[in-house]
Amino acid sequence: MPEPIVFVVDVAPADASPPAGGWESTVRRAASGEPIVRGTDLAATRGDGVFETLGVLDGCPQAVDAHFWRLANSAELLELPAPNLEQWRVAMRIAGSALPTDRQGGIKLVLSRGVEGEERSTGWLIATASDDDFANRTEGWKVVTLDRGYRHDLSERAPWLLPGAKTLSYAVNMATLREAARRGADNAVYLSSDGYVMEAPQSSVLLRRGDTLVTPKTDIGILPGTTQLSVFALASQWGLATEDRLVQASDLLDSDGVWLLSSVKLATPITEVDGKPIAVDRELTERLNAALLARRE
């Protein structure tokens, strides 16, 4: 994997104006291998912070506004100080322009509650040029459904579990991917304990039913996906209907196509669910990925 480039951001409060040197002066490229996080940072000790991962094409970070909306929403859910989005926009531009333009890349934005006792957010960006051949887009993935362990009405019953926030605590998501691999699958789709389709550990779920694209509604304890938003905007241009609703596990088996959607991998068709082959829509897969790859903002 190409070496990631790290940028340290001197995090400003949301209402701060740019300093004399502009927001550019608050973003510093770290030297290769330079330690930039203190051992007492709550991101390191508790996973207490939020993040976003954006796709980058031709040096342009994709769907920045949608990611910034989710970043601000996650920060609010964790009761973190609101991010200064103008500062992060400049930081994002600097990180994007450090990446090569001959292939896809990604930028991870990390916003931590900061060092214990200091009451000041810390933040950084990690820009990575991808060496992935994105075979997922043509070969597709086999998935298993796995129980998420809570009901679809989690947001109402237990908002303190932070449903809908993209927190740094992804150990559970990574453990889910290892469980999927143990079961011979490429990825997993979480089901609520009462049987509804939720999301995958790092992607949203999309289904096609005739001329309608369907995604699970986001108030069931899942993340609002930025790629899913882009796909719905495309679908409207293409004359397809869109719907977000409760999706039953059985819908995965009798749809006209199912995909996992995410910012860097884009649209991956699902070929099997729990060992059963499902309908694969190659044409729409190609069309979706071509349109997502043609975006420059």
Interaction site with ligand PLP (CB under 6 A): 53, 199, 201-204, 223, 225-228, 261-263
CB 224, min distance to ligand PLP, A? 8
* C-beta closer to ligand PLP: residue 41 or 52: 52
Query: What stretch of H or E contains 177?
Result: helix 171-182
* C-beta closer to ligand PLP: residue 140 or 201: 201
Contact partners, residue 133, CB within 8 Å, separation at least 6: none
- Nearest Cα neighbor of 88 from 37, 43, 51, 48 is 51
* C-beta closer to ligand PLP: residue 109 or 273: 109
The DSSP code for 11 is P
CB 168, min distance to ligand PLP, A? 11
Sign of torsion, CA 220 51 25 100? negative
* C-beta closer to ligand PLP: residue 104 or 203: 203
* C-beta closer to ligand PLP: residue 185 or 223: 223
CB 58, min distance to ligand PLP, A? 19
CB 53, min distance to ligand PLP, A? 5
List 258's β-bridge partners, or say none. 207
The sheet carrying 122-129 orders its strands as 27-29, 5-9, 122-129, 105-112, 49-57, 60-61
- Nearest Cα neighbor of 273 from 243, 247, 244, 249 is 249
CB 263, min distance to ligand PLP, A? 3
Q: Record the tokens describing residue 59, joined without a space.
A: 């040096």
Contact partners, residue 20, CB within 8 Å, separation at least 6: none
- Give the number of other Cβ atoms within 10 Å of residue 271's Cβ: 16
Q: Record the tokens describing residue 162, joined without a space.
A: 């932070």
- Nearest Cα neighbor of 261 from 297, 233, 241, 219 is 233
* C-beta closer to ligand PLP: residue 105 or 201: 201
* C-beta closer to ligand PLP: residue 13 or 159: 159
CB 203, min distance to ligand PLP, A? 5
Chain-centroid distance, C-alpha 134: 17
CB 45, min distance to ligand PLP, A? 22
